[in-house]
Structure 1
Amino acid sequence: MDLPPFLLDHWLAKYQFASPPIAFDLAASTGPKWTVGELLSLGTETSRLDDVTVSYAPAEGSSALREEIGEFLGVDPDWVVVTTGASEALSVLLCLAARPGGNVVLPSPAFPAFEAMANVWGLGARHYNMAREGNYRQSARDVLAAADGETVLALVNTPHNPTGAIMSPDETGTLAAALAERRVPLIVDEVYHPLYFGARPPSAASMSNVLVIGDMSKALSLAGLRMGWIVDADPERRKKIIDARSYFTISSSPVLEALATHALRYRETLLARLQAVAEENLAALSEHMERVADILAWVKPAGGTVAFPWFRDGRDSRPFCEALAAKGVLVAPGDCFAMPDHMRVGFAVLKGDQFAEALSILEGTLREHLRE
């Protein structure tokens, strides 16, 4: 089949991998970057990769890595299957659930790969609307209303990309139980867990009828490891997941698994750095949004590293995003998420004065753009 153009990745690749790259990246959905040297310097013991055999790893991931992921999420490590990022995790689950006429229930707006990958596996997409008038709330009622007799999976993303909205544990539990009555599993995409700006709820990985997908790219700020996972308490379904992973990619790199295992041992250090940067920058972004409230509206994110403001007059954001990029500041136009009057703003990569300078350029460019 012909995949639709991946507009978000096209936009990011144009600027993030340019030479020289964009000066101020507010389009990234990750956190502050780490070097391998910085990771290996964490802790008091000497962490070495010299003795790692450059061969295959187990399809489900090494026992050491799965133990660390299990501790991170508070689940039995036997429930964990390692994947190549959350993208492979999603593709595996869609592949195994696919059947003629089947569909998957997805949020709108959403990360664009969700629907494209469902379509690749022959699944239709049904949507529940996360209305900005309702603060992008994800409710069990809306998800259930979108499902029908052909639904094979439902997905919630919390904290949500691109809005930063969250679904409470009580709401998630209610939804999972109601879907269980229909024999429909619930996928909870937790790539931003546990980055919240209020109470920190536990992972949904221990809930009945829930399959959690996650990775080390977002909340752990280690996108280059390409390390993700599926958590599933069902042993029979887990065997199928491991088989699918074997067919897809055979295994992860043992070198990357060793580095990921080490990083997870010091996850509180990684998470603390991201939390500090994100909270400081979110406060600055909130002040910025007050200054430009005559032009932009937004819903302040409750978690994650991105916000999704929109033009009050409904104009297409892409011309503005292009003008802003020309001045060295990158945000993602809303048409990448099928909502052209919006833009996605990442607030966790830049730190301190850099973030303040980027916001200053953004505000000045907004004023200029409206005068044109």
Structure 2
Amino acid sequence: MESGNANHEVETTSGITIKGILSLLMENIDADSGKRVVSLGMGDPSASTCFRTTRVAEDAVVDALQSQKFNGYSPTVGLPQTRRAIAEYLSRDLPYKLSSDDVFVTSGCTQAIDVALAMLARPGANILLPRPGFPIYELSAAFRYIEVRHYDLLPNKGWEVDLDAVQALADHNTVAMVIINPGNPCGNVYTDQHLKEIAETAEKLNVLVIADEVYGHLAFGDTPFVPMGRYGTIVPVLTLGSLSKRWIVPGWRLGWFVTSDPCGMFRNPKVVERIKKYFDLLGGPSTFIQAAVPQIIERTDEAFLEKNNDTLRQTADICCGRIGEIPCLACSDEPKGSMAMMVKLNLSLLKDISDDNDFCFKLAKEESVIILPGLALGLKDWVRITFAADPSSLEEGLGRTKSFCRRYAKQV
């Protein structure tokens, strides 16, 4: 792919989803190269042989399906037993108890994101989003006519929220700020203290916090995962999550939208009724998948969950080790959670590479390796690498990336 074409892609990638960008990269691969495609761009752990769901989850779905009790419609807000199981699961890490009325079952976390923004939309509203972040928020906000304002995450501080920037950006039309913890795309995990500071800042600004915790509990460093809902007594929190990552079942599309608000803002009858009416418009997950949730949560062995985190720690270490061998790439902070990391691209060491988009499209064409340009996530001249992959794929993909970078290295 010529550099000019890559520059054209720079203009288009900011307006499409990650899946759309990855599709463009796949189209750019040279099918005649004879090289197998190594994708380190998509956050789907089930595509790797080292990540498989537990038999408990599979059996729970089979049991629900074979019972023939769950072939009809479920309540639009979710099955009562599903809502209760999710409330109990999330309450394990909170200083208060959620009730089933606080939980609304969604078709994956993506639908939960759209519900959150739909509930907050009003004329003139704006929302504060992290940069880098997850592009679905921008897309949903555009459909809801919500203005987006980006605050920076600080790579030299473990990708913490720039709270000074948050305060400078917010005004009387700001309806919420979004945090993603553990972080996608950065691989960070926020400390308890930083979450408290976020809550206090949001309370000062009179905005609620949307806590995207789709990677909840996928923390394998020295910082344990703490849910934002722990500070629901300071500021109202909308907690968004799903089964997809922790149980390695993204295709099951089972997510949740939870009002973590013990002080009661979301218990206002008018607010509750509005949420329920909106869910009447939506199609939730399959009823038999919902019915399996209580058994999945109750019977999953802790050893399965620990093994996944151990594997992520190992693959993250491989990723960081191989990146350390490539002079033009640098990890600003080793990942402590989730399944992806941001890597700094030093263009001054490369010739004939104009930016991160150009880098990723040429890498796809010449080496059949897919990684995500940082521009797609709001951060120019960085790339996102997914380490939820088989070790052999990481070794091969980053080995080819090393060869690619050698070919384009400036002579000194």
- Calculate the TM-score normalised by the size of structure 2: 0.79
Match of 1:344, SS state, is strand
Instruction: Please point out which of 27, 40, 47 is paired with 1:26.
Output: 40
Instruction: Please point out which of 223, 234, 245 is paired with 1:199.
Output: 223
Distance verdict in 2 for CA 1:91–1:48, change over 3 Å: closer
Give the Cα–Cα distance (whole angstroms) in 1 for the partners of residues 14 and 400 of structure 2: 33
Give the Cα–Cα distance (whole angstroms) in 1 for the partners of residues 247 and 345 of structure 2: 31
Tell me what 1:83 maps to: 106
Verify the 8 A CA contact 1:298 1:309 in the aligned structure 2. Answer: yes
Give the Cα–Cα distance (whole angstroms) in 1 for the partners of residues 364 and 303 of structure 2: 33
Superposition deviation, residue 22 in structure 1 = 6.3
Instruction: Please point out which of 154, 166, 191 is paired with 1:131.
Output: 154
Instruction: Please point out which of 339, 345, 350 is paired with 1:305.
Output: 339
- Computing the radius of gyration from Cα coordinates, the structure with the larger value is 2
Superposition deviation, residue 213 in structure 1 = 0.8
Tell me what 1:175 maps to: 198
Superposition deviation, residue 235 in structure 1 = 2.2
Match of 1:167, SS state, is coil
Deviations 1:311-332 (A, max 9, x none): 1126412333233334332211
Superposition deviation, residue 5 in structure 1 = 3.4
For the pair 1:13 / 2:23, whether they are aligned, the reply is yes
Give the Cα–Cα distance (whole angstroms) in 1 for the partners of residues 369 and 160 of structure 2: 29
Superposition deviation, residue 126 in structure 1 = 1.6
Instruction: Please point out which of 66, 70, 95 is paired with 1:50.
Output: 66
State the Cα RMSD in Å.
3.1
Verify the 8 A CA contact 2:191 2:226 in the aligned structure 1. Answer: no
For the pair 1:216 / 2:255, whether they are aligned, the reply is no
Give the Cα–Cα distance (whole angstroms) in 1 for the partners of residues 54 and 322 of structure 2: 35
Match of 1:165, SS state, is coil
Which amino acid letter does the alignment assign opposite residue 8 of structure 1? I
1:311-326 aligned within 5 A: 311-313=345-347, 315-326=354-365
Tell me what 2:117 maps to: 94
- Paired positions, count: 366
Match of 1:49, SS state, is helix
Tell me what 1:72 maps to: 89
Superposition deviation, residue 77 in structure 1 = 3.9
Which amino acid letter does the alignment assign opposite residue 243 of structure 1? K
Distance verdict in 2 for CA 1:35–1:356, change over 3 Å: closer
Verify the 8 A CA contact 2:188 2:337 in the aligned structure 1. Answer: yes
Which amino acid letter does the alignment assign opposite residue 406 of structure 2? R
Verify the 8 A CA contact 2:182 2:213 in the aligned structure 1. Answer: yes
Deviations 1:289-323 (A, max 9, x none): 2211x211222222211111121126412333233
Tell me what 2:184 maps to: 161
Distance verdict in 2 for CA 1:273–1:130, change over 3 Å: same
For the pair 1:254 / 2:294, whether they are aligned, the reply is no
Verify the 8 A CA contact 1:159 1:193 in the aligned structure 2. Answer: yes
Superposition deviation, residue 371 in structure 1 = 6.0
Which piece of structure 1 moves more, 209-218 or 252-261?
252-261
Name stretches of at least 5 consecutive residues in structure 1 with no aligned partner: none
Distance verdict in 2 for CA 1:195–1:248, change over 3 Å: same
Match of 1:154, SS state, is strand
Distance verdict in 2 for CA 1:109–1:175, change over 3 Å: same
Give the Cα–Cα distance (whole angstroms) in 1 for the partners of residues 177 and 274 of structure 2: 19
Verify the 8 A CA contact 2:356 2:380 in the aligned structure 1. Answer: yes
Instruction: Please point out which of 368, 382, 404 is paired with 1:342.
Output: 382
Give the Cα–Cα distance (whole angstroms) in 2 for the partners of residues 5 and 179 of structure 1: 28
Which piece of structure 1 moves more, 52-61 or 154-163?
52-61
Tell me what 1:62 maps to: 79
Distance verdict in 2 for CA 1:313–1:4, change over 3 Å: closer
Verify the 8 A CA contact 2:223 2:336 in the aligned structure 1. Answer: no
Distance verdict in 2 for CA 1:105–1:311, change over 3 Å: same
Tell me what 2:10 maps to: none
Name stretches of at least 5 consecutive residues in structure 2 with no aligned partner: 1-12, 92-96, 349-353
Deviations 1:86-133 (A, max 9, x none): 221121121121111111111111111212211221211122112334
Give the Cα–Cα distance (whole angstroms) in 1 for the partners of residues 22 and 152 of structure 2: 26
Which piece of structure 1 moves more, 3-12 or 109-118?
3-12
Give the Cα–Cα distance (whole angstroms) in 2 for the partners of residues 38 and 342 of structure 1: 38
Superposition deviation, residue 359 in structure 1 = 2.3
